[in-house]
Chains A and B, each alone.
Chain A
């Protein structure tokens, strides 16, 4: 008989090993799935994990990994801080959308003015928009005890409606012949967020994601607030005795993760996406939750997890393209990854023991 015995403290070895094990199990089970569907499993796995990095068109897809991973990492860095404290911001998608809208609003308001301060002002507005959207669940929780999980999630749908309203209404491109969508910011030099060095994919959002990883690492391991956050997550009552004010923490964590998500939205709108449309939210805010957990809520882990998820997206597209693998299969594949991760998570907190019969 096998039984599970809780560990005294989470195993460090398994902390690192389980994500790797999850990736491995996903490859095996995913391969099995591909085989059942009649695709060559080895070729499919190679197309998803290898070709984007070293395949024939890798000089294009490698930079694209950064483009795809940057918003995930930026958002997940903020989310992880709150998750560490047991504050669950599920609505980063909404904060991303609102940040994109407030940031773009600055540019659209002064169009066609060209000025050096415009892009920094847009970033500030994006941060502020995301922060404000994140503060709604924070204040509702602090004042009325409302669940931040539900409020932040529901606000995603409100944000999507706001995006549709903007795309069809106030922000509609006056030269767009009545079609929805704002002006394209890629064609507005002062507001654009282009590749900083041609061929690298790196735009300001990539830079910001790197900074966010460093800053959250510093916060969590070197700063007193990081200590409070970790304490509140592990032992809320003890933290309170140590002088941690839970309300401040809620406002800080939701505000921070909202601001970073808002910035991610702005970088995307001014860069790769280019314009405000009703389909502004493409799921980065939700995928970032997977990234945060896959990365063990640790800044470096999040960096790697973001790149891995980006790899499955881009590799998944390649697999569709070269092998005609259905899009849904790739989504199942990504779902498996999270499933196995959560499954193997058991091993970090429990030991498997063989029961000795009496």
Chain B
């Protein structure tokens, strides 16, 4: 018997552990796996705030746990499995690189629901969610275009993936809209969070005469560099309020709480279904942090008007006429980009004098 137990296959053990008879009033266990530490002050921090919001909203009806700093790849698969084995019925996996591990683990735990951030693979029990950060980028791009004096704005990219390229294009389009002379410089950090590399990238941009820095990386290092040089920048992922009122003149905040609360509520009600959510300013998932007094009142008003127009759905940041960088037409006059186009975006729009690394 002992030997048989030892030889029991993983799947049998998983089945036994994954299907406990759950009493009606037992709390719903919700698990989270994070790619960084909860104290990163950016991406993971925001996800953890949303987890706390879930606890606050549902009180005793839920019980949340998280595992932080999980490397993408094989370790993620184990961490996810352990969360499922520990009885979590809903698991949020908050990094793109958790995608294949989520799919593998979800196949073994059909009664556990998975939510995967920024990915593109779904299943019966795997939903994906993402935020339309490009909407927020349009707003801060407008501020950048108005504020630059050298007419050179810089962008610190993390990785050349569609989400980041959307942001670069969106901020450039809207900067140019208010300032036809504006030019964009792009530097890739190849990291989501690496203060040293981000600082280096910021220095390189500043040396080129850039006086407004946008970033799609999570540390405050670029803001610190901007401060030294008298340039300005924007908070990324979280508000980065410590750098107010300047160099941080505004920020683009990831607000996951509405989505997390909604999805946890649906599991509690039994109405959860798989799907792909891509919400933006209108749903409160992308938030523009306070625009400080370092920005002239009319620019602030202009930016807020754009924010509200995007939020109400009246305006889409990718509306034609728009050409690709190679000069071919992308969107005709009045045409709006499809979500599918955006989600696989791998080109810069006309006017950005940079190459996407291949």
Contacts and interface: CB of A to CB of B under 8 A. Distances in A.
A275 B100 contact: yes
Nearest to B77: A272
Given A168-B357, A277-B97, A327-B37, A317 B74 contact: no
Contacts of A68: 78
Nearest to A184: B100
What secondary structure prevails in chain A residues at the interface with B? loop
B315 interface: no
Given A60-B14, A268-B74, A320-B68, A274 B100 contact: yes
A241 B136 CA distance: 72
B71 A282 contact: yes
A279 B85 CA distance: 26
Contact of B73 (A60, A164, A277, A320): A277
B343 A177 contact: yes
Interface of A: 56-57, 59-61, 63-64, 67-68, 161, 164, 168-169, 177-181, 184, 186, 198-199, 268, 271-275, 277-280, 282-283, 314, 317-318, 320-322, 324, 326-328
B75 to A, nearest CB: 6
B10 A282 contact: no
Interface string B189-229: 01000000000000000000000000000000000000000
A321 B10 contact: no
A199 B8 contact: yes
Interface in B83-118: 83, 85-86, 96-97, 100, 104
Interface of B: 5-14, 17, 31, 37-38, 65-69, 71-75, 77-79, 81-83, 85-86, 96-97, 100, 104, 120, 159-162, 190, 343-346, 357-358
Contacts of A327: 37, 67-69
A169 B17 contact: no
Contacts, number: 116
A326 B37 CA distance: 8
Nearest to A328: B37
A86 B305 CA distance: 68
A199 B10 contact: yes
B162 A318 contact: no
Contact of A282 (B11, B75, B159): B75
A320 B344 CA distance: 36
A145 B206 CA distance: 40
Nearest to A187: B100
Contact of A324 (B65, B190, B345): B65
Contacts of B104: 186
B85 to A, nearest CB: 4
A318 B85 CA distance: 11
A61 B74 contact: no
B85 A57 contact: yes
Contact of B159 (A59, A168, A328): A168
B97 A279 contact: yes
B85 A168 contact: no
A278 B190 contact: yes
A180 B100 contact: no
Contact of A314 (B10, B12, B78, B160): B78
Contact of B10 (A63, A168, A271): A63
B68 A179 contact: no
Given A59-B10, A278-B190, A279-B72, A168 B86 contact: no
